[in-house]
Copies of this chain bind each other. A is one copy, B any other.
Amino acid sequence: MALGEFDLIRSFFDRPGLRSSLSDVVGIGDDCALLSLQPGQQLAQSLDTLVEGIHFPKHCDPYLLGYRALAVNLSDLAAMGAKPHSFTLGLTMPESNDVWLQSFSDGLAELASIHQIGLIGGDTTRGPLTLSIQVQGTLPEANALRRNGAQVGDLIYVSGCLGDAAGALPDVLRGQNPGSVRTLEQRHLLERYYRPTPRIALGQWLLENGATAALDISDGLLGDLGHILKASQVGAEIKTTSVPVSKALGSLMGPEKSRELALTGGDDYELCFTWPDRKKLLLPDSLMTDNPVTCIGRITSASGLVDAETAQPLSPRAYQHF
């Protein structure tokens, strides 16, 4: 049951800023979208669903929601080293509200324009507010940053600072947004929550230059790193004090709480990756200035994840009990 679906799509979704600029793409308007790949390319795809009241607060600013929904999906492409190509949107909403739709689609379009990707298809339906976005990107054939390539001895890195988005959660749950809070520190954390930066350029560079494994940190460093360890059948030791924390988070939360959030908090969408020890990691200035990377540990042959300083096991749950 569509809600004036054709007009709605034409007004808000089949428009400049969201239309694909690729000549070999057929977008909105037929039973299916059509796309082609260049010879030697493969397609990477990721689908994420966000539900009101679960993944974002009720009455969330629709612009920020549109931006964030696309950002968290693009982050999965970054984690594989893929170049963004296009996306589709399944939008379920309780009513058709033009003001809401304009703002939501503007948020999508801002990030879509940055990465030059088009919205090529989807579905709009009535129901509880839920978004499913599938992003697609291209990769050289038989080449991708997988989770299963980490080798014993590899160094473990993260991009950016961790814990900011988790630090913003109390404000998010109170319905705050970056424009509504009083301190620059709160604003920084809310920006990080609502406008995470998918590390697309870094992911592509890591793929081209020989990182052995990668993923994006959506559920918290300790848990997500665990996926690399499991897929690669290795262990790791990390120096918890070297996990980078922003000044804003540190000053709002103090050192202990900041570190806990950096290790266990989700929603930052930074990359965690492994890199061969024998090879020097020399990021180009453009990437390093924008978003430095930090070595936080090393892959080991022992199974499990341990604190490099205390040799104690580290797990997302255990750490929260500190």
Would B147 and A31 count as touching, CB distance under 8 A?
A: yes
| Pairwise interchain contact B55-A33, C-beta atoms closer than 8 A | no
A152→B47 CA distance, assembly (Å): 41
What 0/1 pattern do residues 14 to 26 of A give for CB contact below 8 A with B?
0000000000101
Interface members, chain A 96-133 (any B CB < 8 Å) = 120-128, 130, 132
A1-46 residues at the B interface, CB under 8 angstroms: 1-2, 24, 26, 29-37, 39, 42-46
Count of this chain's copies in the oligomeric assembly = 2
Q: Are B92 and A51 in contact (CB under 8 A)?
A: yes
Encode A137-164 as 1/0 by CB contact (under 8 A) with B: 1010100101110000000000000000
Task: Tell me which residues across on chain B come within 8 A of A125, comparing CB atoms.
Answer: 49-51, 54-55
Asked if residues B39 and A39 are in contact (CB atoms below 8 Å), the reply is yes
How many whole Å from A8's CB to the nearest CB in chain B? Answer: 14
Which residues from B are CB-within-8-Å of A42? 24, 34-36
Secondary structure dominating the interface of A: strand
Known: A51-B125, A121-B45. A30 touches B147 (CB 8 A): yes
Task: Looking at the assembled complex, report how far the CB atom of A196 sits from the nearest CB atom of chain B, in whole angstroms.
Answer: 15
Distance to closest chain B CB from A199 (angstroms)? 12
Q: Determine if A53 is an interface residue (Cβ-Cβ < 8 Å).
A: yes
Residues B35 and A134 in contact, CB atoms below 8 Å apart: no
Chain B residues with CB below 8 A from A48, complex form: 90, 123
Complex Cα–Cα for A54 and B33 (A): 25
A54 and B1 in contact (CB under 8 A), knowing A30-B80, A80-B32, A90-B47? Answer: yes
Q: Which of B29, B123, B147 contacts A231 (CB 8 A)?
A: B29
Q: Which residues of A contact B (CB under 8 A)?
A: 1-2, 24, 26, 29-37, 39, 42-55, 76-77, 79-80, 82, 88-92, 120-128, 130, 132, 134, 137, 139, 141, 144, 146-148, 215-216, 219, 231
